[in-house]
Amino acid sequence: MKKSILIVLLLMATTTIRAQNPIAQSLMLVDCPTAGTLARGSFMTSLHSYNNGGLLGIVQVGLSDRIMFGISYGGTNIIGTGPVTWNPRIAVNGRYRIIDETEGMPAFSIGYEGQGRGVYTDSLNRYLEKSKGVYIVGSKSFKFLGFLALHGGLNYSFEYEDGDKDLDGYVGVEKGLNEELSLYAEYDLAMNDNSGRSIGDGKGYLNAGFRWSFQGKLLIDFVWKNILKNNKTRPYSSREIRLNYVEYF
């Protein structure tokens, strides 16, 4: 059933409706990549808060208008009392936009994301929400009461010591309210997190957020994660704040 939903939504995301804006407005929805890339000579620094007093720092650089790469590192209990538990390693990410968006064609990018989200579990060698691993994603923008964009991707995570090695997929949508405010949501089918010793219980991960952009450089996100409470061990959703700053060399 989930595979059928994914196919339908991927077709929706690549429907050739007249484009209004290039899909370079966002790099990520909540945790799912879009086909957007950083402009050449720009960089983005990000700080994400998450449950258990966790903080994740990310730095990404645009090498060209098509190529970007970055690193990330963080840990839990950074905010709070008691010892800090650091992530086991620095994670890397990279993205290459292979096709630009046109009036009749969505943008497509391929990439790698080694950073999972949430608490790291040593016994399963994975994060609470698995890293995307290698992925391909398509993004298409539309003119519909302002800016609207649809996204759809397929990914394969290398965090599979829980016994679930399935291919995964996700879809997302973002809607601009004006030049500063936007809403967005994503649904990760979590087909690689529903069997074996997986943490997920089969509902998938539904996340949503609200973004405020100040002069196109400072972005503040208020995020509601795991709305469906797709977790066998931690059956609750979470509220997070994320800060992003974009600048040019």
Q: What is the pTM of this model?
A: 0.87
- The pLDDT > 70 percentage for the chain reads 90
Which pLDDT score is estimated for 58?
Answer: 97
Residues 6+ apart with CB under 8 A from 155: 113, 132, 133, 134, 135, 136, 167, 168, 169, 170
Which residue range forms the structural domain that includes residue 163?
Answer: 2-248
| pLDDT, tens digit, 9 for 90 and up, residues 84-135 | 999 999 999 999 999 999 888 999 999 999 999 999 999 899 999 999 999 9
Q: Please give the distance of CA 195 from its chain centroid, rounded to a whole number.
A: 23
In which band, very low, low, confident or very high, does the pLDDT at 146 lie, cut at 50, 70 and 90? confident
**Mean pLDDT, rounded, for 134-151:** 91
Closest to 171 (Cα-Cα) out of 204, 125, 220: 204
Q: What is the pLDDT of residue 7?
A: 47
What is the reported pLDDT for 111?
A: 98
- State the pLDDT at residue 61: 97
pLDDT for the residue numbered 1: 54
CATH of the domain at 106: 2.40.160.40
Tally of structural domains, the chain: 1
The tokens for 141 are 């923008």
**168 vs 231: CA distance, rounded Å:** 17
Predicted local distance difference test score (pLDDT) of residue 19: 34
